Structure formats: structure tokens, C-alpha cells
Amino acid sequence: MERLIYHIDVNNAFLSWEALQRLQEDPTSIDIRTIPSAICGDPQKRHGIILAKSPLAKQYHISTAETIQSALKKCPQLQLYPSRYHVYQEFSQKFHTLLTHYTDCIEPFSIDEAFLDMTTSYHLFGNKITAAQSIQTAIYETLGFTVNIGISTNKVLAKMASDFEKPFKIHTLFPDEIAEKLWPLPIERLLFAGKSTCKKLTMLGISTIGDLANTEPSYLIPHLGKNGMQLYQYANGIDASPVQPERPDAKGYSNSITIDHDVTDTREAKQILLSLCETIGFRLRKDEKTATCLSVKVKDCFFKTKSKQCTLAEATNHSQKLYELACSLFDTLWDHHTPIRLLSVHATKLSDTSYQQLSLFDNEQSHHNNLDQALDQIRNKYGSDSIMRASFLNTTYDPIVKRHTNK
């Protein structure tokens, strides 16, 4: 299946978010998006740079990263507002949260950008374009700001597409459109082509992305090193990098799976939970950690998410105990008929096992520890599938690895 990647980019993020926040604080105040305005460092000290500017300020040729002093020379009536990063973080969080209604695979690229892998979910919202329109409309109607969306088969092309014409636009840049839409652009427009690199390329007679795409890599590498090969691939629309969701919190161990089919059977759902808990238990023991808090998240086929957590009476890294608790939480979350798309287990509130206090009379705990230790040793030596629970026989789920396989 050919990948479908969206790049979502908030239009004029800091200024839009500042305008919305000020209107929330005082509905009678002016919308700073409608006047020459800019977000910058402390305007009273008249130092720093322009972080964002309004459309009217842009008409004065004011640019991002320009000094305040330079911007005021171009537009003396420019209204300056100090940046409030905590406000922008709150809007960013709402922005990224809304995107989870459309796909599970989201990679935050910056505070105001994100890549979405829509390969398996775009059809739920129509075709490739109508799905993007749905995202645009939902963000505008729910959060009050606009976004650009670039659509392609990989991240580089999607990012390039979102930068074409702004604001509030949707652009495609599929492989068969590269020659027409990408190659005529100046080399400075290519992703990750910095000023120094562009200067070298210009000296080599390369002024457009098309020039670079049609230059032999053997000619580029002596001048640009490995970066030359990467830029050559980008110019030709080659990028195999996956959309990578944010890493789990370092203070916890989590495991999740986006299932390639809707799960409606309780036994199958709990089989998946067992696989997730086996992996988490294995990782906890490997790092000599125990957990006293466990949470389970369920996302259904309508992208509605429910989660619940519980605090353990005693810290543990025993897979069976984690599984029993996960099943208990799952039973309270799921209505046992709505199809499930994603399951996740997260263990937190960690402690070091070297400081764990054990009861002299807890023979069952000792038995569990010995069993887990024996299983871990076998798996470490012979592989994760060298020994497994009988319940995993004749199933499509790995007994320890989180991936859903077809073996």
C-alpha cells in the first residue's frame, strides 16, 4: 500500500495564538491579526527579533528573524507584542490533540507543525483531499486558527507541499507532480538546504531544485559530503523515513498497538493486552525497575479514546500481575461491542529493584521472580519467540514484541 503523509503547518502560529488569547481575555479588544503587528522579544527594550508578523506587517516586507529596530524602520506604526510561550504551548497541545481524531500515527515536527500518516485512515473521512479539508475545518471551527496541509507519499514532499501558497491552503506533491511543481523552484526552497550549502550549489551552477535533481551524486559528494547525497534524494522526492510518534515518557514504560483490523472479541483484545504486558514486564526487569501505577488506553474505530489507571498495592515488574491489572482496567473501559482500533498499556511511578523490600513469607512473589528470570534468560539468549505462553500458539501476535505480525 502506497503511503499517504500529511504535513500540517499552523499559519502564522505565534501571532494567531496571541490574537486568540487576547480576544479570550478581552472580547472587545482589537484582533491583532487585522493590523500591522508582530510578536517579538520585549518591545520596551527594543531588542530581539521578530518571531511572527501579521499579514499587513508582511506587506511592509517585514520578515521573521528580522530585528525589531529594522522592522520599525520599515513600518513605524507596527504594533509589537511580547511572546508568551506558555500560551503558545497550550494552543499547540490542543492542536496536536485534535489531530489524534484522524490518525494514531502523528509526529510532532515543531510546536506548530506535525506529520500525519493517513495511509490507513484517510478513507474514513472521504478521499485524500476531503480528509485534509475535514482537518482544516475542524481546527478552524474548534480552535480558531488556520493551517496549511501538504499531501504526498513521504514526509519531505508533504512538507514541501505545505509551504507552497499560504494561508489556509491544501497542496499535493505526489511523485508524478515533482517535475512540474518542485523542480522549477529555486534551490533555497529545498528542505534542509541551508545558506552555506545553497551558496556552494550556486557556485557549481545549480540554481533550481530541478538542476540538483538532474546532477550526478558523484559530482555533488566531493563538494557537499554525505549531505550532497541526501539533498539529491530530496530533490528527486526520495524519502523513506517513517512518521515517528513521540517517545514515551522516560519516567514510564509504555507499549501500544494500532491493530490492522477492528477487534470486537474480548478474548482477542486480552490476548493483545497480554503481549503488551509481556513486553513491558520484560523491559522493566531488564532495566531493574518496578512500577506502582498502571494505565490502559482504548481507542475505538471512531477515534474516541478512553483511559483508566490504578495504583498498585506493591511495586511489581511481573508480567502476569501487570496483565491481570490491565484486564481489570480494560473491563471497566470497554463496552464489549464497539470495534477497537488501538490498545495501550503504560507503567509509571517507577522504583529501582535494588531497593525493593520483600516479605520473608511471600513465597509466591519469589516463585514469580524466579520464573520471570528464567524466561528472560532464555529469551535473551535464543530470541523473543524461543519460549512463549501456550495461548500465543496459532495466533498472529508476537508473545513479547509489540508489533502485530503476520507470521
| Residues β-bridged to residue 345 | 255, 296
Other CB atoms within a 10 A radius of the CB of residue 222 amount to: 8
Predicted confidence band of residue 230 (pLDDT cuts 50, 70, 90): very high
Residues 257 and 229 in one domain: no
Phi, psi of 9 (to 5 degrees): -130, 120
Asked if pLDDT for residue 179 goes beyond 80, the answer is: yes
Residues spanned by the domain of 194:
183-235
In a domain? residue 279: yes
Provide the percentage of residues in the chain whose pLDDT is more than 70. 85
Has residue 22 been placed in a domain?
yes
Q: Which of 13-27, 76-90, 284-298, 373-387 has the lowest mean pLDDT?
A: 373-387
DSSP 25: H
Which is more confidently placed, 248 or 79? 79
Mean pLDDT of 387-407: 50
First to last CA, the chain: 19
Residue 401 lies in a domain: no
Residue 320 lies in a domain: yes
Q: What CATH number does residue 372 fall under?
A: 3.30.1490.100
**Residue 220 and residue 274 share a domain:** no
Whole-number average pLDDT of the chain: 87
Q: Which pLDDT belongs to residue 121?
A: 93
Examine the domain organization and report whether 279 and 362 are in the same domain.
yes
From the candidates 113, 177, 278, 324, give the one annotated as an active-site residue. Answer: 113
Assess whether 384 and 259 both reside in one domain.
yes
Question: Cα torsion at 392, 396, 397, 399 (round to 10°)?
Answer: 40
Q: What percent of the chain has pLDDT over 90?
A: 63
Residue 127 lies in a domain: no
pLDDT at 391: 59
Torsion angle of C-alpha atoms 83, 84, 85, 86, degrees rounded to 10: 180
* End residue of a domain, out of 58, 86, 114: 86
Question: For the CA atoms of 118, 122, 127, 128, what is the dihedral angle to 10 degrees?
Answer: -20
Look at residue 259 and tell me if it is in a domain. yes
CA distance 271 to 282: 17
| Whether pLDDT at 199 is above 80 | yes
When pLDDT is averaged across residues 110-128 and rounded to a whole number, the result is 94
Residue 113 falls in the annotated catalytic set: yes
pLDDT of residue 258: 79
Do 276 and 370 lie in one domain? The reply is yes
Domain count, the chain: 3
pLDDT in tens, 123-175: 999 999 999 999 999 999 999 999 999 999 999 999 999 999 999 999 999 99
Q: Are residues 201 and 282 located together in one domain of the fold?
A: no
Task: With residue 223 as reference, give the H or E element that holds it.
Answer: helix 217-224
Give pTM, 2 decimals: 0.67
pLDDT of residue 366: 52
- Of residues 80 and 262, the one with the higher pLDDT is 80
Q: Among 55, 86, 117, give the residue marking a domain's end.
A: 86
| Residue 209 shares a structural domain with residue 334 | no
| pLDDT at residue 246 tops 70 | no
Over residues 256-282, the pLDDT tens digits come to 887 878 899 999 999 999 989 988 998
Q: What is the mean predicted confidence (pLDDT) over 97-126? A: 94
Range from 201-210, 233-242, 375-384 carrying the lowest mean pLDDT: 375-384
Q: At 75, which CATH number? A: 3.40.1170.60
| pLDDT of amino acid 372 | 75
What is the pLDDT at residue 252?
86
Mean pLDDT of 170-187: 97
CATH number of the domain where residue 223 is located: 1.10.150.20
pLDDT-derived band at 358 (thresholds 50, 70, 90) equals very low
Would residue 247 count as lying in a domain? no
Task: Report if residue 244 sits inside a domain.
Answer: no
Task: Say what the pLDDT of residue 306 is.
Answer: 93
**Of 50-59, 282-291, 368-377, which has the strongest mean pLDDT?**
50-59
The total of other beta-carbon atoms located within 10 Å of residue 102's CB is: 21
Closest CA to 163 of 179, 148, 143: 148
